[in-house]
């Protein structure tokens, strides 16, 4: 099988998976939950978490959390912006369905910035608070999946976003946190 066929098959599978997850017949509570998860990944929560940890924690190690998240975003945002521009993948709400539940903030879908940001923050929080790793990763996964459920991303967009965010989170930890 040549590369062109492989990419076409992957794109078709991605579209089919999107249509399965983006179900217009989903119960209202499910869409409301997806909307809430998506909103939690808009950025305000990250600032509140950083300020709360910086203000409330006396643990010297925890004081590195805000700086680590800031450095993580300083690495992730340029990668995200370059990838968005380079791939220029049309959003599913603009090419596959017409009834997305939210209006996306920009034109292109690959990678998902919400997924990248959520996984970046989840990875860093998991390092500083390992007892809550499953909570952080579940939340990040929920933010990512919500973007498909709401109709603004294909599944591949959120997977690639999660990989970018996780990688940038790990790199930020390697740069900031002493071994």
**Cβ pair 158, 147 in contact under 8 A:** yes
Mean pLDDT of the chain: 91
pLDDT: which is higher, 165 or 52: 165
With a cut of 70, say whether residue 90 has pLDDT above it: yes
Q: Tell me 22's DSSP state.
A: S
Confidence at residue 97, expressed as pLDDT on a 0 to 100 scale: 77
Closest CA to 22 of 112, 105, 100, 114: 100
With a cut of 60, say whether residue 1 has pLDDT above it: no
With a cut of 60, say whether residue 81 has pLDDT above it: yes
Q: Which DSSP string do the residues of 119-158 spell out, in sequence order?
A: HHHHHHHHHH-GGGHHHHHHHHHHHHHHHHHTTS--HHHH
Confidence at residue 78, expressed as pLDDT on a 0 to 100 scale: 98
With a cut of 60, say whether residue 98 has pLDDT above it: yes
Q: What is the mean pLDDT of residues 94-100?
A: 78
- What is the model's pTM? 0.92
Cβ-in-10-Å burial (0-12, 13-18, 19+) of 129 comes to: middle
With a cut of 90, say whether residue 94 has pLDDT above it: no
Helix (H) or strand (E) holding 176, with range, is helix 155-176
With a cut of 90, say whether residue 120 has pLDDT above it: yes
Helix ranges, 22-62 (H): 28-40, 44-56
**Cβ pair 132, 49 in contact under 8 A:** no
Domains of the chain: 29-176 (1.20.144.10)
């Amino acid at each position: 099988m040549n590369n062109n066929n492989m990419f076409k098959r992957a794109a078709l599978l991605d579209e089919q998976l999107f249509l399965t997850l983006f179900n217009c017949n989903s119960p209202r509570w499910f869409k409301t939950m997806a909307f809430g998860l998506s909103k939690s990944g808009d950025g305000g929560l990250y600032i509140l978490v950083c300020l709360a940890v910086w203000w409330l924690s006396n643990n010297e190690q925890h004081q590195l959390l805000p700086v680590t998240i800031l450095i993580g975003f300083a690495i992730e945002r340029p990668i995200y912006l370059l990838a968005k521009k380079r791939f220029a993948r049309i959003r599913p709400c603009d090419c596959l369905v017409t009834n997305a539940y939210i209006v996306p903030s920009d034109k292109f879908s690959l990678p998902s910035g919400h997924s990248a940001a959520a996984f970046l923050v989840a990875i860093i929080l998991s390092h500083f608070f390992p007892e809550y790793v499953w909570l952080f990763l579940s939340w990040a996964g929920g933010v990512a999946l919500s973007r498909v459920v709401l109709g603004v991303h294909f599944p591949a967009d959120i997977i690639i976003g999660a990989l970018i965010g996780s990688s940038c989170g790990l790199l930020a930890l390697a740069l900031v946190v002493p071994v």
